[in-house]
């Protein structure tokens, strides 16, 4: 709400933009709204803000009638573009210690002064620190492997023992079972939980197939993210 500080360049700029397609502050006839803003502006705006200047000169001509114009004078912040400024200004302005003047909070177009710069830098720092402290979530996956033997006479228990003997950082073996696949052959279905960064499926594949005499092939039956 409002133009900001109407004595500052940014406030006048906001007023100028507002008046580009408007003849009056409020509605289509001169009213107390115009007078209120007129008094807040104080001196004629520079020629670089043509719409503000046009409006100013026009309202100045109503000087003699200023009390008889329609409407009721409201606080200056209620005039001008509505909405956005209040919310965007609220966040960075809230911790501002020196913000006694309401108008400063609504200074949308103002460039950052020293105080706000320092404040912003500090807040960025705090944010980074908080992020660093946060424990990093480790990506894990649950993999179910199908280990197939050469023949039905292959010692499945032996195979399981061998598979479980594979150790690696980030590898945890889970449950297993023997699944019959036909002709008396059973396959070993074993699940494990791995940390994605540390153990890859290629690694598992390699290690298991090292037991050549027992293992014919390894397949990934399922791969789920935990």
Partner 1 sequence: RTLFGKSLSSSKTDVTLDVGDGRKVSGITCLAKHLQRTSAEFRDVSLEDRMQVEQWLEYRLYIESLQDVESERAVLQELNSYLQDKVYFVGHSLTVADILLYHSLHRVFKHLSFHDKERFINVSRWFNNVQHDRRLRQSLTLLPFVRSLLYSGTSSH
Positions in the binding site for partner 1 (CB under 8 A): 13-14, 17, 20-24, 27-29, 50, 53-55, 57-58, 61-62, 81, 83-85, 108-109
CA distance 218 to 188: 9
CB of 83 or CB of 182, closer to partner 1: 83
CB of 22 or CB of 177, closer to partner 1: 22
Tell me if 178 sits within 8 A of 127, measured CB to CB: no
CB of 13 or CB of 32, closer to partner 1: 13
To partner 1, the closest distance from the beta carbon of 98 in angstroms equals 23
To partner 1, the closest distance from the beta carbon of 118 in angstroms equals 24
CA distance 160 to 12: 80
Tell me if 70 sits within 8 A of 31, measured CB to CB: yes
CB of 85 or CB of 149, closer to partner 1: 85
To partner 1, the closest distance from the beta carbon of 78 in angstroms equals 15
To partner 1, the closest distance from the beta carbon of 84 in angstroms equals 5
Distances (CA, A) of 51 to 38, 120, 125: 13, 34, 43
The residues near 36 (Cβ < 8 Å, ≥ 6 apart) are 25, 73, 74, 76, 79
């Amino acid at each position: 709400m409002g133009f900001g500080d109407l004595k500052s360049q940014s406030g006048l700029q906001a007023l100028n933009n507002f008046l580009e397609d408007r003849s009056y502050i409020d509605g289509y006839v001169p009213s107390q709204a115009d007078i209120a803003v007129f008094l807040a502006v104080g001196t004629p705006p520079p020629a670089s803000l043509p719409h503000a200047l046009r409006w100013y000169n026009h309202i100045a001509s109503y000087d003699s009638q200023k009390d008889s114009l329609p409407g009721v004078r409201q606080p200056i912040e209620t005039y001008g573009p509505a909405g956005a400024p209040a919310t965007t200004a609220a966040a960075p302005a809230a911790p501002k210690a020196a913000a006694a003047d309401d108008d400063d909070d609504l200074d949308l177009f103002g460039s950052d002064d020293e105080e706000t710069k320092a404040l912003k830098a500090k807040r960025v720092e705090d944010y980074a620190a908080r992020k660093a402290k946060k424990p990093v979530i480790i990506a894990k996956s649950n993999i179910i492997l199908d280990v197939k033997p050469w023949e039905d006479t292959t010692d499945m228990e032996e195979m399981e023992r061998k598979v479980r003997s594979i150790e690696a950082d980030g590898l945890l073996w889970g449950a297993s079972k023997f699944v019959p696949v036909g002709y008396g052959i059973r396959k070993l279905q074993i699940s494990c939980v791995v940390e994605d960064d540390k153990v890859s499926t290629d690694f598992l594949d390699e290690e298991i197939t090292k037991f050549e005499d027992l293992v014919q092939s390894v397949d990934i039956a399922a791969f789920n993210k935990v």
